[in-house]
Amino acid sequence: MILQHTGNHFAGAIFYRWGEDGWEYLVIEYDSGLGIQIKFPGGTNNDHPGERMVETLNRETLEETGLIPVNPQVSHVEEKPGRGGKPTHLKVFFAIDFAQCVGQLRTVPKLDDGDRLSPPFWRTADELRGVIFYTHAKALEAVEARMS
């Protein structure tokens, strides 16, 4: 089961809610000094070897948004072979109903390992098309298909 996966992985959260213009998705502006990127909240277990996927998802979403997902649903999976002797990397995005989250949405910017993160904000799929970080675009397409 993906939630129990402990190998090299990335867990991404696609929080959704119904807004005035349809489905909205929670994103963050990341600034690592190389330019601003708009991404879904998430991260890897690189600094937490053996951490299960669900633990990575909970840790990263709490850290970046102030929220802990309840009942996350796998919406998009990519598996990439590792380079230079590194193990296979599993990237999993989860669709999460904002109404079913625990916690308080973060409202101030923060630093995360040298990266500056904006407070999370809501955007429609149309507003994200062409501006969401390229590795997150397929995950957006997958969750959009699920919401139709």
Q: CA 63, CA 9: separation in Å to the nearest integer?
A: 17
138's tokens: 């397929």
The dihedral sign for the CA sequence 20, 25, 29, 34? negative
pLDDT given at position 113: 84
Q: What is the pTM of this model?
A: 0.92
What are the pLDDT digits (tens) for 122-136? 999 999 999 999 999
What are the chain's domains? 2-147 (3.90.79.10)
User: pLDDT tens digits, residue range 60-110?
Assistant: 999 999 999 999 999 999 988 777 777 778 999 999 999 999 999 999 999
User: Residue 49 has which token pair?
Assistant: 């070897």
User: What is the tens place of the pLDDT at every residue in 2-48?
Assistant: 777 778 899 999 999 999 999 999 999 999 888 899 999 999 998 99
